Amino acid sequence: MAETRVENVNKKLRISKVVVNSSIGEAAARLEKAGKILEELTGQKPSFRKAKKTIRGFGIHKGEPISVMVTLRGKKAVQFLRDALAAIGNKLKEGNFDEYGNFAFGIKEHLDIPGTKYNPELGIIGMDVIVNVDRPGRRVELRRINKSKVGKKHRVSKEESIEFIQKEFGVEIIRE
């Protein structure tokens, strides 16, 4: 009788979250327009972020809203990631990945995302896309109540993440 080995479901990689950030640097109407664009692209209400300190050279004051961001999880995150990767030609540099398997990339114009139409009232914005790759069970280390350690073998490495992104999303990795 041939035994089939059952793969451990806790070892499978997944996209935990996708964070979309657009730093405008001013609290004027441009920031509101950027928020509307992010809401159109993601289908979620964005969060406005404030400056932590004053930087006179950039004209930024502490407490002033300067950027807008959205955190996507689940199916929305995967779908947006597919569109965002298509906007950059499904190519990522190896240097975009950190040692824990997370990666980030930038999109110069939101119009590069497939299915996006130009609205002259809102203008054009660029954005950063930050992707968190992990395994089920990572929450044990992050939760507030009854925290526990996760073994080193359970953590995601850079190589595992690159292989996962190539297989699941068909991304070409440019080696440096």
Write out pLDDT tens, residues 165-175. Answer: 999 999 999 98
Q: What is the mean pLDDT of residues 71-76?
A: 95
If you ran DSSP here, which 8-state letter would residue 10 be given?
Answer: G
DSSP symbol at 3? P
Tell me, what's the pLDDT at 6?
73
pLDDT of residue 1: 53
DSSP 105-162: EEES-GGGSTT----TTT----EEEEEEEE-TTTHHHH-SSS-----GGGSPPHHHHH
Which residues, in sequence order, are bridge partners of residue 167?
none
Burial (CB < 10 A; 0-12, 13-18, 19+), residue 2, is exposed
Strand partners, 18: 72, 131
Whole-model pTM: value is 0.88
Residue 150 vs residue 2, higher pLDDT: 150
- What architecture is the 13-174 domain classified under in CATH? 2-Layer Sandwich (3.30)
The answer, yes or no, to whether residue 16 has pLDDT greater than 80, is: yes
With bands split at pLDDT 50, 70 and 90, how would you rate the model's confidence at 13? very high
Average pLDDT value for the chain:
90
Give 75-134 pLDDT, tens digit per residue.
Answer: 999 999 999 999 999 999 999 999 999 999 999 999 899 988 898 898 899 999 999 999
The two three-digit tokens of residue 112, written as one number: 């590069």
Residue 112, φ and ψ in degrees, nearest 5: -70, -20
User: In whole angstroms, what is the distance from residue 161 CA to residue 56 CA?
Assistant: 40
Beta bridge partners of residue 39, listed in sequence order: none
DSSP string, 34-91: HHHHHHHHHSS--EEEE-SS-BGGGTB-TT-EEEEEEEE-HHHHHHHHHHHHHHTTSE
Q: Would you say residue 23 has pLDDT above 70? A: yes
Express as a percent the part of the chain with pLDDT over 90: 61
User: Which of 30, 15, 85, 25 is closest to 49 using CA atoms?
Assistant: 25
Q: For the chain, how long is the longest CA-to-CA vector?
A: 74
138 or 1, greater pLDDT:
138
Rounded distance between C-alpha atoms, residue 92 and residue 172, angstroms = 6
